[in-house]
Amino acid sequence: MADHKETFPLVVNGENTTVEINVNEPLRNLVKAGLKETDNEKGHALEDWEVRAVTGGPVLDQSKKIEDYHFAAGTKLYVDLKVGGGG
């Protein structure tokens, strides 16, 4: 597996951060890293979070590889609690 890392800007629960990750990994690993960077990894299960490429856009499947989405360079991803998630 090629070690092809890219840096992704994330907005996690309203807080901006960036994560460098291998694009061959599943999207859930990017979400986990973003949650850790913003101190949001405790208190809610990973399943309580959803990720979108556009605010209000479709929820992305976290089990798919990051590279499967063909994100343009600099694409900002939005990670937020599901409505009623973890409640």
**Does residue 1 surpass a pLDDT of 60?**
no
Number of domains in the chain: 1
CATH code for the domain in which residue 11 is found: 3.10.20.90
Considering the domain boundaries, does residue 27 fall inside one? yes
Per residue in 3-46, pLDDT tens?
799 999 999 999 999 999 999 999 999 999 999 999 999 989 99
- Look at residue 24 in the predicted model and tell me its pLDDT: 97
- Look at residue 44 in the predicted model and tell me its pLDDT: 93
Considering the domain boundaries, does residue 86 fall inside one? no
Considering the domain boundaries, does residue 87 fall inside one? no
36 is in which domain, residue-wise?
A: 5-81
Q: Provide the greatest CA pair distance for the chain.
A: 39
**Does residue 48 surpass a pLDDT of 60?**
yes
Considering the domain boundaries, does residue 54 fall inside one? yes
Considering the domain boundaries, does residue 30 fall inside one? yes
Where in the chain does DSSP place strands (E)? Answer: 5-12, 15-22, 49-52, 77-81
Token couple for 19: 């994560």
